[in-house]
Structure 1
Amino acid sequence: MVYQGMGSLYETIWGFNVVLPTFSGIAYGAGRWVAVESGGSVFISQDGLQWILAASEQDLARSFGPSVWGESTPFGLSDVAYGRGRWIAVGSRYNPLVPYRELQSLIFTSLNSLRWDFEALESEVLLSGVAYGAERWVTVGTRGTIFTASSGTYLLWERANSGTATELKGVAYGNGRWVVVGDEGTILTSRDGLRWQRVESGTRKRLFKVAYGGGRWLATGLDGTLLTSTDGLRWQPIRLEKGVSPVSATYANGRWLAVGDEGTLITSPDGIRWQTISSGGGPRLELVAYGGGRFVVMGTLEALTGSIILTFP
């Protein structure tokens, strides 16, 4: 079903005889899109419109080999990023006997988005976000976990001291600084990705994601929380219209685009003044990214019956 409106192409995929994923991460690089889903599969697209399965859960699981938990231990992917010719997807293995209990953090790397190599890091940690910047990778997760690796032929991951045990959700790099966000309003910042300091956010709400663009940081959070900063150190809240609840945001071509619950789509030239495109009804829009001349938004349909992909222009 296709909807045309406001100069945008809205393309919805419904789940009749189709196994539709629940997307958890999306990124653009080297002329293609890559998306990962919580069931452990990887999808690719050249234009953001037509998507194909690049690697299934079974494909990735073959790289595990035998383990003390068994070869069929379920796992999921949480996020994906691109940098310096390499894709990285992160997630965790789960204990099938204890739902939602993480067994081990996972990192998959790929040079072409088709063949993925596996690396396990630490037990009982779920990796939630990953980003690349300034010749360095940073991934974050539960228990205040931050792993970092310098870019090179081989990635050697080391754990950085975050100074917190709070669950960390999102990470981004911009203007010479790393910023990490998480539960209880946690915001951490670092110049080198190794030494971190906590800064005051002014909220105790869970923060989902963080992004940088146009000389400004934006952090999205629970119950419509939207924070902004010009330096990553001093943050202030942005008041939005009632019913507008952004979950993720990105910046490109001189404007911000944020997406979220109940069909939230809002845009801003400066991260301060926001115009509502849609809100108050519709699917939960969870992911937004820019690449190849267009924005791509991903979310879930009502009752989890399918997934939705929006692209514009």
Structure 2
Amino acid sequence: MVGKVLGFAAQIAPWAIVGGLAYAAAFIKPGVEALPLPQPLNEPRDLFYDVSESAPGQFWFAGNNGLILEGGQTIEQWQRHIMSEPVNLQGIAASTDGTVLAVGNAGWTFRHHGNGEWAPYHLPVSDIAGKLIEVTWQDGYFWVIGEMGAIFRTDAEVTQWEDLSIEGDVALNDIARTQNGDLWITAEFGTLYRSVDQGEGWKSQELGYESLRSVAFHGTEGVIVGNGGVIFRTDDSGLNWAEVSSPTSEHLYDVINDGERWLATGNSGVLLSSQDGESWSLLSPEGFADGYHTRLLATENGVLVAGQSIGLLSGERWMSLPDSLAGGR
């Protein structure tokens, strides 16, 4: 009798197991709680176009898809900000009181101050070519320039906007001021603009045919860089410009004077140095990426670089950011 009972139990055991599993699948829900994945500060797909500093040691990198990286002296001070409009942010600047203004494609601007949120504002730009390419803080105003001759000026609070645009289909790339107050804008097709009345009127001149990307002044000396590696220099605040020999034919996107030397950067990891703005040589810091770099910013700790990679150049030593702050190189 016992043997018959055990035999019967052996026959039904597999079906009981299967039935139990089916019941569990239908009526018992797993209670596993998913752990949130940490968001990295920067990702391989991130690209950057500009960098600014709002206070000593507090800087901002403007990037693609509405990305802004806020940086500091330690890895804990870094934050990742995403704007409400996923446009590429071409320029970023900070006022003396810490207001930060980012500008980008399709006429979008974003203002930030203190611990507040980023406030979007849309400027009236062309529907055909409405990219805002650069923003800078000068003489108590933010200046914004871009495609189709777009020039806008706004106050420190970013509340009142003035349209000072140039008529014509021309992309404006960079704006700088000399010590005598003149404003200079580099543009495509070798065009250079000058204003002696704070942007109310502009006069143009041609420096060859390559697009002029960036202009910077140090005292009465000035340097312009552009496509094809072209470099122009002035020693009289821009009254006369002369082309000088360049050690590269790669496009150059930015030039600065960091107080000790002139630096220029551009495509294919090109980095140039000059003491006088006339004789230039190539720099090759160890670890400096061979991609493009679009912006240089002199700080008390070195020169911040924005582009396909971001980092700090101190002398000829390169430190990738924020990797070097987290124990990397």
TM-score when normalising by structure 1: 0.76
Write the distance in 2 (CA, Å) between the matches of 1:46 and 1:294: 14
Residues 140/111 of structure 1: CA separation in 2 closer, same or farther (3 Å cut): same
Letter in 1 for 2:95: G
Pair 286,194 (structure 1): closer, same or farther in 2 beyond 3 Å? closer
The 1-side partners of 2:117 and 2:161 are apart by: 21
In the alignment of these two chains, the number of paired residues is 265
Q: 2:132 aligns with which of 110, 121, 127?
A: 127
Task: Measure, in 2, the Cα distance between the counterparts of 1:164 and 1:49.
Answer: 45
Q: Offset of 1:80 from its aligned partner?
A: 0.5
1:51 positional shift: 7.7
CA contact (8 A) 1:189 1:233 kept: no
Instruction: Specify whether residues 208 and 290 from structure 1 end up closer, same or farther in structure 2 by C-alpha distance, changes over 3 A only.
Output: same
Q: Which runs of structure 2 are paired with 1:117-156 in the superposition (5 Å)? A: 117-123=119-125, 124=127, 125-151=130-156, 153-156=157-160
Is the 8 Å Cα contact of residues 181 and 188 (structure 1) preserved in structure 2?
yes
Tell me, yes or no, if structure 1 residue 238 matches structure 2 residue 244.
Answer: yes
Of 102, 107, 110, the residue aligned with 1:108 is 110
SS in 2 for 1:200: strand
Aligned residue identity for 1:118: P
8 Å Cα contact 1:43/1:54 also seen in 2? yes
Secondary structure in 2 aligned to 1:204? Answer: coil
Q: Matched residues in 2 for 1:225 and 1:33: separation?
A: 30
- What's the Cα RMSD here? 2.6
Aligned residues with identical type, % of pairs:
20
The higher radius of gyration belongs to 2
Offset, 1:20: 4.2
Look up the match of 1:298: 306
Residue 54 (structure 1) shift: 3.4
Q: Which moved more, 1:138-147 or 1:239-248?
A: 239-248
**Do the aligned partners of 2:245 and 2:279 also contact (CA within 8 Å) in 1?**
no
Q: Distance in 2 between matches of 1:296 and 1:272?
A: 23
Cα deviation, residue 290, structure 1 = 0.9
Cα–Cα, structure 1 residues 113 and 270, in superposed 2: closer, same or farther, change >3 Å?
farther
Q: Deviations over 1:220-272 (max 9, x none)?
A: 11110112223234322121124565321111122111112222111112211
- The answer to which structure has the higher strand fraction is 1
- For 2:71 and 2:132, the matched residues in 1 are separated by 24
Change in Cα spacing, 1:115 to 1:162, as seen in structure 2 (3 Å) is: same
Gap regions ≥5 residues in structure 1: 1-14, 62-72, 93-103, 301-306
Residues 145/154 of structure 1: CA separation in 2 closer, same or farther (3 Å cut)? closer
The CA distance in 2 between the partners of 1:154 and 1:128, in whole Å, is: 18
Are 2:268 and 1:262 aligned? yes
User: Which amino acid counterpart does residue 283 of structure 1 have in structure 2?
Assistant: G
Counterpart for residue 83 of structure 1: 95
Q: Establish whether residue 30 from structure 1 lines up as the match of residue 42 from structure 2.
A: no
Gaps spanning 5+ residues in structure 2: where?
1-39, 316-329
Higher relative CO (Cα under 8 Å, sequence separation at least 6) belongs to: 1
Q: Corresponding residue for 1:39? A: 65
**What TM-score do you get using the length of structure 2 for normalisation?**
0.72
